[in-house]
Structure 1
Amino acid sequence: MYKSRTLIHVAASAALLAAIGIPSAAWADPAVQPAAAAVQPAAAVVQSTPAKAASGEWAAYIEKRYGVKLSGAVTRDQFAAALGKILGTASSLTETPPSIPSLFPQGTAVSGKLPVWEALSAAVKAAELKELAYTYSEEKVAAAWKKAGWTYTKNGVVPHQAAQELAAAFDSGLVAPAALAGVTADAATTADLAYRLLGKVAEFHGQTQNALGYLSDDDIVGKLVQAWNESQIIRAEELQKVVDEGLKQNLITGYNLKDTRFDPHFDPERTITYGHSDIVHAIQLIGLLRSEGIQAKVQLEPKTSAFVYRKEWGEPVQTEDYRVVPIDNGNHIAYAKEYDLSFEFASVEEKQRFQPLIFRYAKRNQEDVTGLLKGSWWQPLYYSLTKLEDYPVITNHVLKDGRFLAQTFSLNEQSAQVIAGLKKINPSVQIATYQFWVDQPFYQYLKGEYK
C-alpha cells in the first residue's frame, strides 16, 4: 500500500490496478475513465490546430487518421472519397452529415478535373457553412474574395452561389487566403490544397487534434488546471452494468471510463499517455519536462477510475470527486476522478527521454520521497501505442457506447479469460482488444508485485 497516501487515495490507487483487469489482491494505482452519463463542460475541450499549420502537417494527419493519400492534381472522385471518410466519423455537428453527391455541382463527372472553386465549394458544404454563405451580398462576396487576391465578377467562371460559398470559406478560416497565392479559381486542385481543406473540414467537425497547448506555452499550467477543475466523474450506465458486474465477480479489478471527445488524436509514433489522480503531480511533471528542454503538445483527458473498495479499508469518505456504491459482500465499488496526460513529443528521440525522467523523479523506490514529484507512485502508469524498447506489452479491452468507452487492462495471457467473462455477463457486448507498450513497473504491478 502507498503508506504516504490517505486511505482514500490508496483506494483511488487501487483503481489503476482496477484498470488491469486481472483478479488480484495487489494494491494498485488509479487509472480509470468514465463514460456515459458524463457531463463534461465544453470549455475543457480545446482544439489545437493552428491556422499556421503547414500543409505537411495536414497531410500527415489526414493520411494517418483516414488513410487518404493524395499527390499531384486531385480528381473529384478522390476528393469526394476523402470527404466521405471524414464525414463518416463526424457526428458532432449534425446527426446526418450531408451526402457526398450534394457537395458537388450537379452533372459533373466524378473522375474529372477538380477546379479550386469546386473543392472550396464542397468543403464549405461539408463543414456545414452553406447557410452562412448564402447570407452574403455581392458586395460582401467581393470584399472576401479580395482577401485571396481574387476579383469577383458576377458572370464569371464561378456561379453566384459557389462565389458566396468561397467568400464564407475565406472569412470563416476554412482556407487561409495565403494558401491561394498565385492560384486561380479554375486551376486544378493540388494535393497540398486538398489536404488543407480536408484538415479544416475535419477540424470543423471536431475530428482533429485536441490539445491544451504546448509545454512551452506560458499559460499551459492555467489551462491544465482549468480543464481538471471542469471535469467530473463520468457515468456510463449501459457500459457500467457489464464492467461493474465484472468487478463483483472478481473477473477484473478495475476499469476506466472515458469520453472520446477528449481524445488527442496525436501521432502515436511520438505520443506517450501518462495516468494519475493528483493534479499537482501533473503540474510538477510539466515543470520537469520544461526544465529538461523537452517540447511536446499536451492534452488532459478526464477519466473515471472504478475499482473495488474493500471493507477492511474502513468506512469510505465520499466527495464530489470520489463516490462509492455498496455491493452485496460488504465491499463497495468506488468511482474516482482522474486524468490521462497525453504528450505528443517533437520527435521520437524526445519521446524516448520520457522514461528515464520518470524513473529518476516520479517513481517511488522507498518510503522516503525526497527528490521526487509530489504524489509519485511505486508503479506509475504510462504507455505507448507504438513499440518502445524496454516496455512490455499488455492488452486493453474496450467497450463502447456512443462517444463513451470503458476499458480494462490485463496481461496478454489473461485476455481470453477477461473476454469470455465479460461475454458471459452480456453475450451481446462488443469488445475490441489491442496490445500496447506499458512501463515495466506497471507491468510488474499487473503481475501482483508491490514494487
Structure 2
Amino acid sequence: MNRSAKWLQLSTSAAVLSAALVFPTAVGATTKTTVEAHVEWNSFLQQQYGVTFDKTVTREQFEKALLKIVSTTSIAEKDLAAKTFLPESKDASKLVVWEAVSAAAKAAELKELGYTYSEEKVAASLKKAGISYKKGGTLTLQAAQELAVAIDTGLVSANALKSASVEGAVSAELACHLLAKVAEFHGSAKNYLGTIADEEIFGKLAQAWKESQIIKAGELQELVDKGLKQNLITGYNLKDAAFDPHFDPQRTITYGHSDIAHAIQLIGLLKSEGVNAKVQFEPKTSAFIYLKEWGEPVQTADYEVVQIENGNYIAYAKEYDLSLEFDSVKEKEKFQPLVLKYAKRDQEDMTGLIKASWWQPLYHSRTELADYAVITNNVLKDGRYVVQSFSLNDESAKVVAGFQKLNDKVKVETYKFWVDQPFFNYLNGESK
C-alpha cells in the first residue's frame, strides 16, 4: 500500500577462550569464529548492562555483573535476596571456573534440573568436558550437578571447559560467555527472527506479520490520543518493548512500513546485493488523525478508526518496524543507496521499484550517518508499551510541555537520532 494523502497526516510521529569454542548463530548463517563471537558478546554486555572486564575476573566483579543481569528478569525474589549466586570461598577475591559456572547455572534457573542428576549422569556429562568426577573429590555433588547441567543445556560448552582447569582462574572471555548465556536463558539477549542469510527468513517474516495485531495500551494510549485531539501531535507510533532486539546501535538501522510484501522484497534485495544482517520484526501501530472530508473510513482487522468530538477520526493502523543489525558499520552504510534506488518513489507510475515503495520511506539510526538528517524522538512508556512521536528538533520542547500539561506525572524521554532525508522533508511539510 502506497503512502497516500491520508498517511501523510501521520507524524510517525578479544583473545579466545578456546580454539574449539564456537558460538551458535541463526540457521543458514555463517558460523562465527570464536573471536567474532566473543567481540559480539562483549559488545552486548557493555551496551545493555555496562559490564566490562580486564583479562581476569574477580568474584566481586562477576557477582555484580550477574546480579545486574538477573535483577531485570522474573527470577524469584528469594534467590535475588541472597545477594549472590556464588558458593562460599576462603578466597574473597579469586574466582575459579567451577564457581563461575555454578553461579551461572543457578542464575539461569537450572539448579533444580541439575539436582535431579544421579552421580552416574553427572559423571557422564562431565566426561564430555574432560572432567573426572568421583564422590569425595574436589567438587561436591551439588557443584558437579551444576556443572553437568550447564554443559548439557549449552550454558557453557564442553570444549570451553576442556581447555580450562575447573580450579583455574576465570578469564574475561569465559565470564562474558556465561553472563551473555544467562541473559539469553532469561530472554534478555539479542532478540531476532534470523538473518538475511537464513533460508527461512521470508517465511518467518510472513508468519510474524500474521501473528501481529493492532496494539492497545490503555491509559497511556488515552493520554496520547488527547494530544492528537488537541493537535499537540499529528500522529504517533505504539510499540511493545518485548520485541526490542537489543542490537548494537552502531550497526543497526530501523525501517518502518505497513506492507509485509515490501519487507520480504527489501530483505530479498539486500540478500541479492550480498548484504547480511540480523533481522527483527517489531509489531507497530501507527495512530493519526483521519479527516472527515476524506469520506467514510473502511475498517478492517488491520485498520481501525474511532470518531472524535469534531467529526474527524483517530485511525489506528497495523504496521511494523524491521530492525537490521548489519555485520559491520560499512555494511550498514550500504543500506541507504539501495533504498533510494529501489524503494523510494519519485513519480506516480515509476517502475523498477520493490512493491509498495513510499514517496518518503522511513528509516533511522541511533548513531550518526552521513547524508542523514537529525530529528527528535519524544517517548512515553508504561510497562512494556512504548509511544513514539517524531518531531523536528525545535518542536520537541512544545511536545514535551504539552504532554506534561495533560498529565503532570508523565515522563517524556527525548533523544536525537538520524533519519533519511525524504522523511525529514516530510516532517517539514513536503508531500514528496
The TM-score with structure 1 as length reference comes to: 0.88
- Aligned 8 A contact 2:26 2:195 in 1: no
- Aligned 8 A contact 2:57 2:172 in 1: yes
Letter in structure 2 aligned against 1:75:
T
Q: 1:70 aligns with which of 23, 46, 53?
A: 53
> Structure 1, residues 89-144: CA drift from partner, whole Å, max 9, x if none?
224x55776346341224655x4111111101110111111111111111111111
State the alpha-carbon separation in 1 of the partners of residues 296 and 225 from structure 2.
20
Letter in structure 2 aligned against 1:19:
T
Q: Does 1:132 align with 2:113?
A: yes
Q: 1:85 aligns with which of 68, 79, 88?
A: 68
Letter in structure 2 aligned against 1:322:
Y
How far does residue 55 in structure 1 lie from its aligned partner after superposition?
A: 2.3
Alpha-carbon spacing, 1:299–1:94, altered in 2? closer, same or farther (3 Å): farther
- Aligned 8 A contact 2:251 2:326 in 1: yes
Letter in structure 1 aligned against 2:44:
Y
Alpha-carbon spacing, 1:439–1:95, altered in 2? closer, same or farther (3 Å): farther
> Structure 1, residues 284-335: CA drift from partner, whole Å, max 9, x if none?
1111111111111111111111111111111111111111111111111111
Q: Does 1:103 align with 2:85?
A: yes
State the alpha-carbon separation in 2 of the partners of residues 251 and 334 from structure 1.
16
Structure 1 unaligned regions, length at least 5: 21-46
Alpha-carbon spacing, 1:11–1:118, altered in 2? closer, same or farther (3 Å): farther
Alpha-carbon spacing, 1:356–1:447, altered in 2? closer, same or farther (3 Å): same
State the alpha-carbon separation in 1 of the partners of residues 78 and 348 from structure 2.
56
Which residue is 1:381 aligned to? 362
SS in 1 for 2:170: coil
State the alpha-carbon separation in 2 of the partners of residues 239 and 96 from structure 1.
32
Letter in structure 1 aligned against 2:352:
G
State the alpha-carbon separation in 2 of the partners of residues 180 and 163 from structure 1.
13
Q: 2:291 aligns with which of 299, 304, 310?
A: 310
Q: Does 1:59 align with 2:42?
A: yes
SS in 1 for 2:247: coil
> Structure 1, residues 342-384: CA drift from partner, whole Å, max 9, x if none?
1111111111111111111111111112111111111110000
Which residue is 1:10 aligned to? 4
State the alpha-carbon separation in 2 of the partners of residues 100 and 12 from structure 1.
56
State the alpha-carbon separation in 1 of the partners of residues 196 and 149 from structure 2.
34
Which residue is 2:12 aligned to? 19
Q: Does 1:324 align with 2:305?
A: yes
Q: Does 1:262 align with 2:243?
A: yes
- Aligned 8 A contact 1:12 1:305 in 2: no
SS in 1 for 2:317: strand
Alpha-carbon spacing, 1:375–1:65, altered in 2? closer, same or farther (3 Å): same
Q: 2:186 aligns with which of 181, 184, 205?
A: 205
- Aligned 8 A contact 2:67 2:83 in 1: no
State the alpha-carbon separation in 2 of the partners of residues 249 and 411 from structure 1.
18
How far does residue 88 in structure 1 lie from its aligned partner after superposition?
A: 2.6
Which residue is 1:24 aligned to? none
Q: Does 1:431 align with 2:425?
A: no
Which residue is 2:104 aligned to? 123
- Aligned 8 A contact 1:269 1:348 in 2: yes
State the number of aligned residues.
416
- Aligned 8 A contact 2:191 2:244 in 1: yes
How far does residue 65 in structure 1 lie from its aligned partner after superposition?
A: 1.9
State the alpha-carbon separation in 1 of the partners of residues 79 and 310 from structure 2.
49
Letter in structure 2 aligned against 1:349:
K
Which residue is 1:37 aligned to? none
Alpha-carbon spacing, 1:14–1:128, altered in 2? closer, same or farther (3 Å): farther
How far does residue 415 in structure 1 lie from its aligned partner after superposition?
A: 0.4
SS in 2 for 1:323: strand
State the alpha-carbon separation in 1 of the partners of residues 145 and 392 from structure 2.
57
State the alpha-carbon separation in 2 of the partners of residues 57 and 315 from structure 1.
51
State the alpha-carbon separation in 1 of the partners of residues 385 and 58 from structure 2.
37
State the alpha-carbon separation in 1 of the partners of residues 72 and 361 from structure 2.
33
Alpha-carbon spacing, 1:75–1:219, altered in 2? closer, same or farther (3 Å): same
State the alpha-carbon separation in 2 of the partners of residues 446 and 84 from structure 1.
43
- Aligned 8 A contact 1:296 1:346 in 2: yes
> Structure 1, residues 204-230: CA drift from partner, whole Å, max 9, x if none?
111111111111221110111111111
Q: 1:143 aligns with which of 89, 107, 124?
A: 124
Which residue is 2:17 aligned to? none
SS in 1 for 2:237: strand
Which residue is 2:402 aligned to? 421
How far does residue 57 in structure 1 lie from its aligned partner after superposition?
A: 2.0
- Aligned 8 A contact 1:98 1:125 in 2: no
How far does residue 425 in structure 1 lie from its aligned partner after superposition?
A: 0.6
Alpha-carbon spacing, 1:139–1:299, altered in 2? closer, same or farther (3 Å): same
Letter in structure 1 aligned against 2:62:
F
Which residue is 2:380 aligned to? 399
Q: 1:293 aligns with which of 266, 274, 277?
A: 274
How far does residue 18 in structure 1 lie from its aligned partner after superposition?
A: 3.0
State the alpha-carbon separation in 1 of the partners of residues 26 and 163 from structure 2.
28
Higher relative contact order (CA 8 A, sep 6+): 1
SS in 2 for 1:10: coil
State the alpha-carbon separation in 2 of the partners of residues 197 and 48 from structure 1.
19
Structure 1 runs (4+) greater than 4 angstroms displaced: 47-53, 93-97
